[in-house]
Amino acid sequence: METTLRGVGVSHGVAIGEVRHMGTAVLEPPAKQIPAEEAEREQGRARQAVEAVAADLIARGNLAGGEAQHVLEAQAMMAQDPELMADVERRIAVGSTAERAVYDAFAAYRALLAGAGEYLAGRVADLDDVRNRIVARLLGVPMPGVPDSDEPYVLIARDLAPADTALLDPALVLGFVTEEGGPTSHSAILARALGVPAVVALPGAGEIVEGTVIAVDGSTGEVFVDPSAEKRAELAKAAEERKAALAASSGPGATSDGHKVPLLANVGGPADVPAAVEAGAEGVGLFRTEFLFLDDSTRAPSEEKQVETYRKVLEAFPEGRVVVRVLDAGADKPLDFLTPADEPNPALGVRGLRTLLDHPDVLRTQLTALAKAAEGLPVYLEVMAPMVADRIDAKAFADACREAGLRAKFGAMVEIPSAALRARSILQEVEFLSLGTNDLAQYTFAADRQVGAVSRLQDPWQPALLDLVAASAEAAKAEGKSCGVCGEAASDPLLACVLTGLGVTSLSMGAASIPYVRATLAKHTLAQCERAAAAARAADTAEDARAAAQAVLSGE
């Protein structure tokens, strides 16, 4: 009998196939004491397992490339954390086996993360995956990972670690469903980059019996268990229509009546550029430079290395627009040489621009490197600061750009509600705004973007969030300046129309989403987008906002 479940759709497309469940490692090794003379041998086993797991994660990252590579390299650094390793060796010295010492040391670190505020708690899934891989290697059991299968299937898991998501084979894994996670989790972002349909935050997904046929709609978040022949045909027809629309869509982003909406790509470095170019991106709306800094958390990359990396991206978009976000360190992206280790709540502490203003030499080097990278290139370089709270922040950043001799537009990210509410004041100091809807939702609703339990409040369709987008766009229009969106909200084709109707002037997203957004915008006039935006803002819930916008755009 067909039943319908609803989670959060995070990657477009439809997948129909049999369920296979993610394999897991033995989570808790037995607690037993070892003789003192075996301690040195056990410490050696632990070190070897840690290095092997770190090497495996790095190798997976090299194979995957792009954003996945940066995420997996960060996990490898987590595995090799010297304080964690010292704790493991201390536990072995007092009688624990290597596997039990790893388990207990990671448990202690896990508790510290959970107690350091909800933002850092979002890294717990990554930490658990690293622990499971090390323990599995020590116990000699299979690593956690995707099941072996010769036939295509739909994967179900409690959560998917980046190491698993990064190397999913789209020829075999038709789509995936997870019980946990959120729309802006690492797995969701990587799923969009891979173009694999995905639904997250679906309670009870793990109870679906192995081998059951399900249909996953990554756009709506619906999962149909034992779908009828009629439902399968309906979904297949919709998928074909969507595919045909994508094939017919090309060129710059615009509504059907010619209102231009540049469609830009979010990138983490040169490895992400080919996919952006292939998707027809008109430039880069968010160049996340922190990945360059995460390669070595103990010191900043040299000016020469920064120049080389930035230039590769800038060269890929001649006559195009490239918006670079300066280093966004802190919270879930700690750097040993910049961010304090003992902040009680890093998400609400010294993060983003605040960190850079505390370390002006790091900001100056980055801005100087950007200036040198752009020399002689016909690119429209724009540079923006993360986590701008008010006009004082905006002025400090603009002054730093001018002092570094940077010939570019200076902008501010709107990720804090205060910035949206006082956007016109901020625009007295900078030339554009860029809305980071992921963090803006997080701070508006006090809902960590990595925690599946509060995914309802991370939904970018929340009317309160749309109100803040509208306030920012209206302020920019009044000042004759631009206001783009570079958060994951831009990757939802229907929401892209609403954002356009709210007055947003450009949309930036993962490369895989660009064709979907381009095709959907091309079906509707600017006036229709404006009516859809008004209808969405008039609603009281995210679900009602989406339904109201859909009704307007479908002519109901």
Ranges of residues in the chain with a pLDDT under 70 are 24-27, 66-67, 113-124, 142, 166-167, 183-187, 190, 296-297, 331-334, 341, 449-452, 556
**Residue 186: predicted pLDDT:** 66
Residue 33 phi, psi dihedral angles, 5° rounding = -90, 145
pLDDT tens track for 261-280: 999 999 988 988 998 998 89
**Residue 431: predicted pLDDT:** 98
Distance, C-alpha 457 to centroid of its chain: 17
CA angle 338, 342, 348 (to 5 degrees): 80
Q: Look up 186 and say whether it is catalytic.
A: yes
**Residue 483: predicted pLDDT:** 98
Q: Quick one: 99 exposed, middle or buried, by C-beta within 10 A (0-12, 13-18, 19+)?
A: buried
Helix (H) or strand (E) holding 337, with range, is none
Tell me which of 12, 21, 70, 186 is the catalytic residue.
186
**Residue 115: predicted pLDDT:** 55
Residue 164, token pair as written in the block: 């698993």
Burial 54-77 (b: 16+ CB within 10 A, else e): bebbbebbeebbbbbbbbbbbbbb
Distance CA 145, CA 22 (A): 6
Distance CA 241, CA 231 (A): 15
pLDDT tens track for 196-221: 899 988 988 989 988 999 999 998 89
Long-range contacts of residues 342-350, Cβ cutoff 8 Å, at least 24 apart? 343/116, 344/116, 344/117, 345/116, 345/117, 345/119, 346/116, 346/117, 346/119, 346/120, 347/117, 347/118, 347/119, 347/120, 347/442, 347/448, 348/117
Q: Look up 497 and say whether it is catalytic.
A: no
**Residue 333: predicted pLDDT:** 66
Sheet containing 153-157, strands listed edge to edge, beginning at the edge strand earlier in sequence: 3-6, 222-225, 213-217, 14-21, 153-157, 173-178, 198-200, 8-11
Distance CA 86, CA 105 (A): 9
Tell me which of 486, 497, 524, 529 is the catalytic residue.
486
506-509/482-485 β-pairing: parallel
pLDDT tens track for 326-374: 999 876 666 777 877 677 777 788 889 999 999 999 999 999 999 999 9
